[in-house]
């Protein structure tokens, strides 16, 4: 598995397995199957409400903890100094782990600066190997980096053929912040799996549309999070290191960019209010 070196020297597998929206009752087995398929990078969050099941999957897998890279995220209501200190221990307890490899602030709301100071302290205490952010606009990411001791290692954002975020990715990389893609398949929206450009590229290499998308992101040195509960799809999504896209392929994929989220805007006041009002029972 190819790895990317973060700005603090920690290595992260470029392909990760995400568990967002996987039902609790399926999560443990999905994690076991993903690790069996070759994934060593598992991504969860407080708000996914399946950290405990992820922890059971890790425990019941055949791979040692030190060979795995585990990410979780601090939800909005816990994004403060005290909120991180209190809720992160709960995350560790649910995961059954003594440390996580990467902790992210899930959304750019609430007291993110207080949250960041707590995360810096937890990293120095050995509870976290790397700290980062998720869904931060570039200006917010750079602001956090410039006015704190530790620069975020990662910004996990929506990146897919319809929302390519080329300028944001370049700006993040220039700051030393590793882009990480959630929803690389746009959750199947806009007929992505039958898109003529992507299917035609796939036929050239005898690969699926999903494999073409993952390969496109890998070649752009972007960490990719893919999700499936089907072992055969897990194996397929990770089998992307035996072909290479041509410049013609990349230009064709570039034409698919519509430059807007396939889900919602993080600058939408209504969405901010909804997230602020959402309370999760951990």
Looking at the annotation, which residues are catalytic? Answer: 48
DSSP 8-state symbol, 66: G
Residue with tokens 């698919």: 256
Number of Cβ within 10 Å of residue 170's Cβ equals: 12
Which residues of the chain form beta strands (DSSP E)? 3-5, 11-13, 15-18, 41-43, 69-74, 100-105, 128-134, 154-158, 178-182, 223-226
Number of Cβ within 10 Å of residue 84's Cβ equals: 24
What dihedral do alpha carbons 123, 39, 154, 223 form, nearest 10°? 160
Question: Within a 13 Å sphere around the CA of 86, how many CA atoms are in the beta-carbon half?
Answer: 10
């Amino acid at each position: 598995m190819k790895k990317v070196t973060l700005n603090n020297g920690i290595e992260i597998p470029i392909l990760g397995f995400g568990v967002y929206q996987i039902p609790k009752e399926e999560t443990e087995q999905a994690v076991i199957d993903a690790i069996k398929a070759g994934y060593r990078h598992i991504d969860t969050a407080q708000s996914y409400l399946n950290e405990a099941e992820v922890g059971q999957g890790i425990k019941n897998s055949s791979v040692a903890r030190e060979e795995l890279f585990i990410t979780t995220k601090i939800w909005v209501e816990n994004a403060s100094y005290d909120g991180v200190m209190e809720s992160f221990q709960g995350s560790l307890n649910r995961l059954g782990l003594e440390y996580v490899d990467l902790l992210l602030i899930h959304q750019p709301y609430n007291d993110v600066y207080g949250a960041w100071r707590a995360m810096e302290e937890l990293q120095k205490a050995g509870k976290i190997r790397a700290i980062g952010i998720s869904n931060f606009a570039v200006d917010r990411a750079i602001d956090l980096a410039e006015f704190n001791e530790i620069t975020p290692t990662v910004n996990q954002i929506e990146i897919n053929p319809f929302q390519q975020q080329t300028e944001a990715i370049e700006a993040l990389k220039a700051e030393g912040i590793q882009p990480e893609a959630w929803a690389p398949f746009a959750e199947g929206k806009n007929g992505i799996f039958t898109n003529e450009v992507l299917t035609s590229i796939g036929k050239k290499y005898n690969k699926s549309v999903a494999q073409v998308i993952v390969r496109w992101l890998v070649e752009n040195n972007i960490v990719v999070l893919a999700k499936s509960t089907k072992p055969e799809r897990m194996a397929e999504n990770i089998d992307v290191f035996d072909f290479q896209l041509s410049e013609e392929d990349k230009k064709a994929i570039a034409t698919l960019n519509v430059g807007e989220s396939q889900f919602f805007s993080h600058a939408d006041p209504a969405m901010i209010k909804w997230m602020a009002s959402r309370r999760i029972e951990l």
